[in-house]
């Protein structure tokens, strides 16, 4: 059976590099005489039939842009029986042979539902949180972490001048990767992540007091969102150590911006892998990066994997921040 039409959607929190993936899939597929359709606003657009045909120029000038030209949405209705049925109807009506979804864990759950209904699917991981258990890397993480580091470097300048402590909250939902990689890159005195229990007195207060006695004059504490109330932490550090402390919540700045080289390259290669699979008639695959290689995993297998934090990185980050 020849694949004639494919549809691409982006869903969940956007991630820099999504556009690079859309571009790669579109251009490679068109070159193989496969028609490409874009779906607006993720699964919402798939339910509502908000779909349009793309050409080589639809994806011009987007490789370097953050966000997604296809827009994104979090669509809880899609997970209902009726929601998936509506999506299947859109696929049938438009003769879509394969749906390619680009997104995070929620998007992967959605694509599993669609594949269970008999639609051929492909999945590309994109999440600034890097919280997808089945792949070592998700598109957007490098850009988000570089943004976080750039912001903390700026905060650090003023923290140093005034000999203060800065508590900086980064994104991550329930995954500490942004905090961990930012923490080691900025020399944080403490890194608070959801995967590792934090003894506030020992891991934060004691470390500040000890290193202060060793001559350290300014301090950065990185907190992953949803772990603690960061402003309360800042207040408590000031009270218990006597070091003036300020709190900054970085927020959505981490989700935007031009993708880094790593994100452009990984997104482009993952996009090409999708089309390679389609040409080889391999479907219902999640694309992954493992040991720096772009590979496929069955969507069912991908959903069974568990994510671990890099404990080694955490231990070393703290050993050298004294």
Binding residues for ligand F6P, per CB under 6 A? 13, 104, 127-129, 171-173, 225, 255
b/e code 260-278 from CB counts within 10 Å (16+ = b):
bebbbebbbbbbbbbbebb
Looking at beta carbons only, is 170 or 266 nearer to ligand F6P?
170
In contact, 22 and 102? CB cutoff 8 Å: yes
Could you tell me the smallest distance in angstroms from the CB atom of residue 78 to ligand F6P? 15
Nearer to ligand F6P, 129 or 263 (CB): 129
CA distance 176 to 15: 17
Please enumerate in sequence order all residues whose Cβ is within 8 A of that of 239, keeping only pairs 6 or more positions apart, or say none. none
Q: What are phi and psi of 179, to 5 degrees?
A: -65, -45
Residue matched to tokens 């750039």 = 150
Q: Which residue's CB is nearer to ligand F6P, number 41 or number 255?
A: 255
**Nearest distance from C-beta of residue 279 to ligand F6P, angstroms:** 31
Strand ranges inside the chain, DSSP E: 5-10, 35-39, 51-54, 98-103, 120-125, 165-170, 190-192, 219-224, 245-249, 285-290, 293-298
Structure tokens at 170: 């980064």
Work out how close the CB of 307 gets to ligand F6P at its nearest, in angstroms, rounded to a whole number.
14
**Closer to ligand F6P by Cβ: residue 59 or 102:** 102
* CB 158, min distance to ligand F6P, A: 25
Residue of 14, 129, 177, 263 marked catalytic: 129
Instruction: Tell me the closest approach of the beta carbon of residue 234 to ligand F6P, in angstroms.
Output: 20
Rounded Cα distance, 193 and 318, in Å = 13
CB-CB contact of 99 with 119 (8 Å): yes
Give DSSP secondary structure letters for 191-230. Answer: EE-TTS---IIIIIIIHHHHHHHTT---EEEEEETTSS-H
- The least CB distance from residue 250 to ligand F6P, in Å, is 10
Contact assessment for residue 48 and residue 87, using Cβ atoms and an 8 Å cutoff: no
Nearer to ligand F6P, 172 or 176 (CB): 172
Here the tokens at position 274 are 């999708």
129 in active site: yes
Return the number of the residue (24 or 148) whose C-beta is nearest ligand F6P. Answer: 148
The catalytic residue positions are 129
């Amino acid at each position: 059976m020849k694949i004639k039409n494919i549809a691409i959607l982006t869903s969940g929190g956007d991630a820099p590099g999504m556009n690079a993936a859309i571009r790669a899939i579109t251009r490679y597929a068109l070159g193989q005489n496969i028609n490409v359709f874009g779906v607006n606003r993720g699964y919402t657009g798939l339910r509502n039939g908000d779909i349009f045909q793309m050409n080589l120029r639809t994806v011009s000038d987007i490789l370097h842009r953050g966000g997604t030209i296809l827009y994104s949405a979090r669509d809880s209705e899609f997970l209902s029986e009726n929601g998936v049925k509506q999506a299947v109807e859109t696929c049938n009506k438009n003769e879509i042979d394969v749906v390619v979804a680009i997104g995070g864990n929620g998007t992967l759950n959605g694509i599993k539902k669609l594949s269970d209904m008999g639609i051929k699917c492909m999945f590309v991981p994109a999440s600034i949180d890097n919280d997808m258990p089945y792949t070592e890397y998700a598109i957007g993480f490098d850009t988000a972490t570089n943004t976080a580091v750039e912001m903390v470097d700026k905060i650090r300048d003023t923290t140093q001048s005034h000999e203060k402590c800065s508590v900086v909250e980064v994104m991550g939902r329930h995954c500490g990767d942004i905090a961990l990689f930012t923490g080691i890159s900025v020399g944080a005195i403490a890194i608070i992540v959801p995967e590792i229990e934090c003894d506030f007195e020992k891991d934060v207060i004691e470390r500040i007091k000890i290193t202060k006695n060793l001559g350290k004059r300014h301090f950065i504490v990185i907190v992953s969102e949803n772990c603690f109330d960061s402003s309360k932490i800042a207040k408590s550090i000031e009270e218990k150590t006597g070091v003036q402390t300020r709190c900054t919540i970085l927020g959505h700045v981490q989700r935007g911006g031009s993708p880094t080289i790593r994100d452009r390259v990984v997104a482009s290669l993952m996009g090409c892998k999708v089309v390679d699979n389609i040409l080889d008639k391999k479907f219902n695959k999640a694309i992954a990066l493992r040991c720096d290689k772009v590979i496929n995993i069955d969507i069912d297998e991908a959903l069974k994997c568990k994510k671990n934090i890099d404990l080694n990185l955490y231990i070393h980050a703290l050993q050298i921040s004294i």
